[in-house]
Structure 1
Amino acid sequence: MKLIMDFKADWHETLKEIMKSAWDLDTKAITEDVPVHYFNAAQRRITATPRNILVSDTFHCPAEHLQGWEQIKRSVIEGRDLNPHLSKRIGKVKKTDLLLSDWGVHHLHLGTELEGRYTARTGPLLFARVTADNFYAIDVYTHDDFEDADIVEVVHRNWPESIEHWALRGMQSKETLTSDQRKTLRKKRYNSFVQVNDGTTYAPIGGGYVFSGHSIFAITEMDKEHHFLECLERLIPELMPELLPELEKRGYSEDADIRVSLVLTDLAYFAHFTEYGIATELQKRPPSPWTGAVSHNAKDLKWG
């Protein structure tokens, strides 16, 4: 028999459907590297879930935007959707966010009224780090401050434990980059370190980016998942002796080609034998902050 399958292609189609139906993104222009665009889009969005709010020691919101700040705080605590406060670029599948990929920082508009899908745009912007459990309110900045190292300084001073993973031990820069120099480097897609006042040096807290502007996170997640799907495909032939009797009952004849497609649910991966209407569980899906994104260890594969 010949098994015909392409689990990577099946996964790519699943991701395109998520981007289209769940995030209302136009995916027609994506012809390659679908997972890179998917993970890039996922990272730029903020998942709606209740979080703790932590406010920095220097946080100050201009009086005219206090109502917007209060609205955001309520949304954070109650787990409401924060994406209307983000850049309109999250609605463009190929757009990137270099501030987020470099320093892991979102910028949110402080408008209170919806204008279409998004809140009214504001000059002052709330800069925040957002994790699964916490919303770190750094301060209110402007559109000219995206490269200001004070952003990292505030995070380091208030919540160093939250970014210690990116601290470079025993390493200090001889020269401190200016905001203009950092802006130039970002435009050219060069990653750089940032040194705070006490000498601590950080690698890109957001994971960094490649020359396309997409985050390194998106590339590595794609590579991990592709490797995992290759492992799943190699397991299919081992399953065939167990499945053949059922396939024969449903019309399979010896030496015929068998098409196998990958089907994903929230709980597991399934191999679907399309022409015979049966599916078998291949692997449970561990919880993940990204819809469709899963972390795996290939040696732990097992049949359901």
Structure 2
Amino acid sequence: MDFIKDIELVAIDALDNWKIDHSEALDWDRIVLLYFNKKLMFIDNTPRDVKVSRKIKSSTYKPDITKALAVIEDKFRKGEDVNPHSTRRLYKSKFTDNLFADWNIRHLHLSTGPHPKDERLLDGTSDLLFLRVTNDTAYFIDVRPHGTFEQIDLLEMAVDEWPGLYLWIPDATRVGRQIGTTGEIVEIKIETPEEIRDLRENRINVLYMIKGKVYVAPGGGIIPAGTLVNATRLHNALFYWRIDLEKCVNDNRPKIDEYLSQFQNYKPEEASFRVGMNEGEFVFFEETSWVGLSKFEGKENARFVWESL
């Protein structure tokens, strides 16, 4: 068993499929962190409901924008790939979307024509669709010009349009205690997009107060190295999940053999335990029988299939 090597090869294969350069990620930690940083910024091909803001519904757009909005909505509902509408920087290894990291808001180009230089993308546009994407719903917030990534009213619009879309807490002093301060929150009045841009570029994660409610890093935040906080969490969880797998195999081999013996072709003396990828997720499986035993669920502890039998 060499789960570290397995995971590294899986991550490299995914990055290669995305055509993302990983030549500067020279060890397991950096390879896996780069993988998760990119995976979180891609939108998976899951059928989703689509909710459109009052602002978009009440606006009149040029025909090409109206057409692109309809195309993107249809793709979301059908679970088709919307990533070609993304920024070309998504495929740059060092790029982290600060808007996504800060507010969990994405932007898509409103084009239906091919990109002249990159087959992975559609052509770029001066107007963008700003949206929030959850596991089951795409929330179309607004259409704005390119470069308008730091307007606080964009977050306010999403919060106002869909109460409950973002997690909030009413007691700001409790946040202060949780993050290790004296229990006091220092209020910084952010008045301009330039101030928000400066905070993001300096990797400073802030709390946002909207209508008396405190929203804590709606996008999860960004670390000083410039990658998503949530990517680091997944990297760390996967590391300990791998340790849990090794311990499970070593401590429960008779039970594993008993479970796998019901499947054709399994021979305990020839067993090969591996970590691979299935439908975009890390999975633990036995290679000779091709039986999956566990799936990485973003948690440190592995949950095994026989536990539910």
TM normalised by structure 2 equals 0.78
Q: Is the 8 A contact 1:55 1:137 kept in 2?
A: yes
Aligned to 2:99: 99
Tell me by how many angstroms 1:80 deviates: 1.7
**Whole-angstrom distance in 2 between the partners of 1:17 and 1:25:** 10
Aligned to 1:15: 11
Q: Which has the higher contact order (CA 8 A, sep 6+)?
A: 1
Q: Is the 8 A contact 1:268 1:281 kept in 2?
A: no
Aligned to 2:21: 26
Aligned residue type for 1:51: R
Tell me by how many angstroms 1:186 deviates: 0.6
Aligned residue type for 2:143: V
Aligned with residue 236 of structure 1, among 224, 249, 252: 249
The farther-off stretch of 178-187 and 24-33 is: 24-33
Tell me by how many angstroms 1:52 deviates: 1.3
Q: Is the 8 A contact 1:50 1:133 kept in 2?
A: yes
Q: Is the 8 A contact 1:282 1:303 kept in 2?
A: no
Q: Which structure 1 segments of 5+ residues have no match?
A: 251-258, 273-277, 286-292
**Whole-angstrom distance in 2 between the partners of 1:45 and 1:299:** 25
Aligned with residue 55 of structure 1, among 37, 52, 56: 52
- 1:68–1:269 Cα change, 3 Å: same
Percent identical: 26
Residue aligned with 1:264, SS: strand
Q: Tell whether 2:151 aligns with 1:148.
A: yes
Tell me by how many angstroms 1:158 deviates: 1.0
**Whole-angstrom distance in 2 between the partners of 1:159 and 1:123:** 27
Aligned to 1:35: 32
Tell me by how many angstroms 1:137 deviates: 0.5
Residue aligned with 2:194, SS: helix
Aligned residue type for 1:7: F
**Whole-angstrom distance in 1 between the partners of 2:305 and 2:109:** 46
Aligned residue type for 1:68: A
Q: Is the 8 A contact 1:281 1:303 kept in 2?
A: no
**Whole-angstrom distance in 2 between the partners of 1:111 and 1:268:** 36
Q: Deviations over 1:136-191 (max 9, x none)?
A: 0100122332111111111111112111x2x1322287443122111101111111
**Number of residues paired by the alignment?**
273
Q: Is the 8 A contact 1:173 1:201 kept in 2?
A: no
Give the alignment's Cα RMSD to 1 decimal: 2.7
Residue aligned with 2:55, SS: coil
Q: Which structure 2 segments of 5+ residues have no match?
A: 173-184, 258-266
**Whole-angstrom distance in 2 between the partners of 1:76 and 1:111:** 15
**Whole-angstrom distance in 2 between the partners of 1:231 and 1:156:** 39
**Whole-angstrom distance in 2 between the partners of 1:80 and 1:136:** 16
Aligned with residue 120 of structure 1, among 119, 123, 127: 123
Aligned to 2:213: 200
